[in-house]
Structures are given as C-alpha cells and as structure tokens.
Amino acid sequence: MKIGMGTRQDVGGVSVPVDHLIGGSWVSSPQRFETRSPMGWEHLADIARGDDATADAAVAAAVEGFEAWSAFSVGERADALHRLADLIEARNDDIALVETLDMGFLYESMKQRLVARGALNFRTYADLITEHENSTWDAKSMRNQVQRMPAGPAVVITPWNAPFMLSTWKLAPALAAGNSVIHKPAEWSPLSAALLAELTLEAGFPPGAYNLVQGIGEEVGAALVADPRVRRITFTGSPETARHIGRAAAANIVPFTAELGGKGPFVVFADADLDAAAHRAAWQFDDSGQVCLAGTRLLVAAEIRDEFLERFHHHADALVLGDPRDPATDIAPLAHPDHRDRVHGFVERAREAGDIVVRGGQPIDGSLHYQPTLIEPVSNDSEVVQREIFGPVLTLQTFADEAEAIALANSTDYGLSAQIWTASQSRAERVGAAVRAGLVWVNTFLVRDLTAPFGGCGISGIGREGGDYALDFHSDIKTLMILDDTTK
C-alpha cells in the first residue's frame, strides 16, 4: 500500500478521490475496479480495490481513532457533526451530480431532498446526543443511573441505491455515539462516499475516526466483518449477504443490525380516495423501483379493482423515462446491467408460470431503462409476489374483505413497510395493528420522523435504526449504582 495525497479523477467536472481513506490519509491499492454510469454505461472512474491488508490497516486505524474520537466531549462531537453537515450543504450540487452519474438517481431529487437529508441526518444525531439525559432513579437505597459508553470501532456497510443518504443515515449515529467507523460502500456506486470521506477531513475529524474502504464485498467486506477488533456491524443489503455477515458477527460476539429490503403491501380499501391511492401506487415506480420501502404488492378491494386499475394506468402512462439529469424525467435507468437482467428474469419466469403481465415487462433497447411493469399473479405463491425484485415491477391482487387483506399483507417472509389507504380511522388503526411490518403508513408514503424506530420484521432485518434506538445500539449500556448513604 502507498500512502500520500491520493489519486483523483474527474467525474462530470467534479474532482473525486478514488483511493481509500485510512487513518486520515489517502491510501492506494495495487488493484482497481471500475465504476460506470447507468446512462450509456460510460466509464466514470477506477477505484482502489481493497484486500485483506487494506481491511487490517483500516481496522487498526479505527482502533487508534476510537481512542481520540471517544475522548471528545459530547459537545465537541456534536460540533464536528454540525460542521460536517455544513460542508455537505455547501457541496450539494457536486454530491448530487456525482451520485446521479454513478447510480442514476434523479438529479433534482438528489439536490432538493437526498443531499439535504444527508446533512439533516448528522444534525439530528448531533442534537440527540446533546439533548440526551441519563436515566436516573432511586431504588433499594441505591441511586441508579443508566449511561451510554462508546462501543468501539464500527463497520458500516451501505447499499448501492441512494448511497449518500443511506450512508449518512448509518454513519451519523455511529459517530455521534463516539465510535470510530470503517465505511464500506457498495462497489456499484462508490463515488459519493469518497466525497463524504473528504468532507470529514475538512470538518476536523481526528485521524481514524472515519475510514473509507473501497472494494468488492466478498473480498474486503468479508475481511472487515470477520475482524475481532470490530465491536459493531451495521449493514443494508440482501438477506443472502446478511447471513454471511451474521455468521462472522456471531463468531466474535459482535452486535449486528441489518436492513434487508421488503415486499411491502399497498392495501387499498373501497372507501379510500382512489385517485390519490392510484397516483401514489404509480409512484412506487420511483427510482425504477430500487427502493426497499416501496409498496410493490398492490392489494385492492375486489369491488374497486377496475376503477382503481383505470386510474393507475392513467398515472403510470404520465411517467417519463429518460436521463436523470433532465428535470422532466420521472423514471431513471436501473443501476447496472446485471440488475436489469435480474429484474427481467423475474418477469420472464412470471410469464412462464402463467402470471398475466398487465403492462410493461420489457427492457428498453439500448439503455438500462425497464418499462414500468404490473403483473397479476395466478397465485399468491408466485415468485413475483414472494421475492423482492427491486425494480419497476408491481403485482396486483384483490381481496374480498378486511381479513383477507390482512392475510395477504402478512403472507410473505418480509416485513419492512406497508401502506394502507382508507377513509376510516378505526380501520386504519385496526389493520395497521394487524399488519406485520416495521413501518406502516396510512394514506401517505415516505414521510417519517428521523427519531422514530426504523427496521423490519422477518427477513427484512434485525434491530432498529433511528433516534435513540440507533444510539443505544452503537453504545455499551452501563448501569451505575451508588449507595445512597446520607450519614456520610
């Protein structure tokens, strides 16, 4: 490994570091991997490809960095997080452009929502740690106080969809709690993480508090999660990868959280505002369906099926597929050719199984766009109903009554999110309580308090993120008990 100023490459006019950040220095690797843009599959950059030696160096740096960062007072850590948020806001356009080129996210959405949300994630946790008060009570002549202690180096593994926002969502509580971090972004969209790494240096984080390791998950990621010096692991990705990480975490008795996607039910009752529900249903195609929270299973009361479908088609027909840099574009390309082929494989197998492709169902020649697709399955056991596709593919099923709606909603192994559309407050509360999901929206979508718990049931995940739930995970919890002896 070679340590120095680091290699930089031009990405859409933005200078981006393409090495690892370890112990406050840019570190290269002898091997590299390329990242390409979903728009035309053009080459963007060649990124350092980490290996076992890289992982070892990063964890060693995080161990040293933990001593410095955990010694910061709560106020000092909060100030550093606010400085980082300021820098993110100042680089909004650059971050948005690089992520649009690297992953294909809509540029206007990145600028207006997701980069700002990244800054807000750091501000939220800066405020939470400064506002926190240790729980204290008296019992059995003892004064009891529950304290949080920083846990140690944390490995943070983030996904390729919305990588900047989801990285900040995981990094903010880990850093706020006083842990050093080793951040491993997904190899399909690694560039915005490099810009974030650069900003941590500008924000004055001590060397080793934040470390960035680029590379292939099966290589450097596997080495990171297996290192016994790591004291926390948090991951967003597939259940298959989580099983490997979970085994490594268990071997070292390391707490592990995972957010693993979903197969969200989108339940529409006959008394719902059908146009609002149909419009929102069509917008489940947002980001080409590469959203874990999307309501991909449309469950519609049988008596309104035809009217709902007519309205759904009207709204879906209005969606514009195009270049994500164009403000007129609604639907961007899929992130990678391998993923396009995976999505199309689900649709082809559904056809072979006799499921009815109501609309779409084909890739668009010469691009990574995929037609917004709706499938009516012949059975609730159909693969397209039971497995996460993570593309612009929805299914449509009907139900006869509330009991059947709940049964269908709960009929997969997943349980990340759900949507219920109804005009009845009592039904909303009744069905909302019966649906097994970590998050249930009623008559809305993607509106959330960042201090609320977030996570899934079943194979959608382990543990909860958000607010104090994430801070508790990234801490070792201590109970201090002092004898209340008033005679001394």
Alpha-helical runs (H) found in 14-73: 52-70
Of the listed 187, 198, 219, 259, which one is catalytic? 259
pLDDT on residue 5: 58
| Positions of the chain with pLDDT lower than 70, given as ranges | 1-5, 486-488
Catalytic-residue membership of 457? no
477 three-class SS: strand
Q: What is the dihedral of CA 460, 465, 466, 469, to 10 degrees?
A: 130
d(Cα 127, Cα 79) in Å, to the nearest integer? Answer: 10
Nearest in space to 46 (alpha carbons), one of 30, 66, 61, 62: 30
Catalytic-residue membership of 99? no
> Tokens 């997943």, residue?
414
pLDDT on residue 484: 80
pLDDT on residue 365: 86
Q: Write the DSSP assignment of 299-323 as a string of letters.
A: EEEGGGHHHHHHHHHHHHHT--B--
pLDDT on residue 1: 41
* DSSP-assigned beta bridge partners for residue 478: 147
Looking at domain 3-260+456-479, its CATH superfamily turns out to be Aldehyde Dehydrogenase; Chain A, domain 1 (3.40.605.10)
pLDDT on residue 166: 96
pLDDT on residue 366: 84
pLDDT on residue 487: 44
Q: Do the bridges between strand 32-36 and strand 417-421 make them parallel or antiparallel, or are there none, so unpaired? A: unpaired
- Give the residue extent of every domain in the chain: 3-260+456-479, 265-442
pLDDT on residue 265: 98
pLDDT on residue 192: 97
Choices 3.90.400.10, 3.40.50.360, 3.40.50.720, 3.40.309.10: CATH for 265-442: 3.40.309.10
pLDDT in tens, 65-93: 999 999 999 999 999 999 999 999 999 99
Of the listed 99, 198, 219, 292, which one is catalytic? 292
* DSSP-assigned beta bridge partners for residue 210: 181
